Amino acid sequence: FLYFIEEGGKMLPFKYNDRILVLGDGNLTFTRALCTMNGVDPENVVTSTLEPDECICVETLDDLVDMGCFCITQPVDATYKKVWKILGRDPYDYVLFNFPHTGYNQTLCPEEGIASNQTLLFDVFSNLRRQPFVTRRTKLRISTKTTFPYSEWDIEDVADEAGWKFRSVTEFDCDLFAGQGYRHQTTRARSVRVDVSEAVTWTFVKA
């Protein structure tokens, strides 16, 4: 079932009772935007970030807690083999990971940056596949930019090598989430705004 989002008549691919895990959400503004949308039950959403002490705004955290979202305030590394000890064993219907990035400056050396991020993606895919909260029904949705050098990450091939099957690719509706307060958080602090208008969301399931 697809539930309509009131703003602009947009839709998200979630059932109201779906359990959703958000990984690496920097400042948590994506999760807050998600939880304000019709068709998503905040009490079924668990969110996390790699560097909570540096990224999370107290106001955003308070908003999420008030909505009933479970916020993990300790660092969560998606490549940590025993991450289930933090995230639990109960299965999720969806795992969302927006714009994973090692922080490597791809402008200085695109080839090394591409390799660095392919390694990160492979480690994330491989590790999540072994976690008890990821089942064959779990859909892993990873959003990436489509411009160079992100277009050279070959995410489908990396996923396949790590034991995941490609299901679909759709537009990442940045305007929809930005309208609900989403602000993209870069891996390394930058003084310029990063354009994520040309981005897509890849959906995978365990092979």
Residues of the chain above pLDDT 70, percent:
89
- Distance between CA atoms of residues 77 and 195, nearest Å: 25
Tally: H helices and E strands in the chain:
7, 9
Between the CA of residue 162 and those of 124, 128, 130, what are the distances in Å? Answer: 9, 10, 11
Model pLDDT, residue 195: 67
Neighbours of 15 (CB within 10 A): 16
As a whole number, mean pLDDT of residues 91-120 equals 92
Region 44-63 average pLDDT: 89
Query: How much is the pLDDT for 12?
Result: 76
pLDDT at 170 over 70: yes
Its pTM stands at 0.90
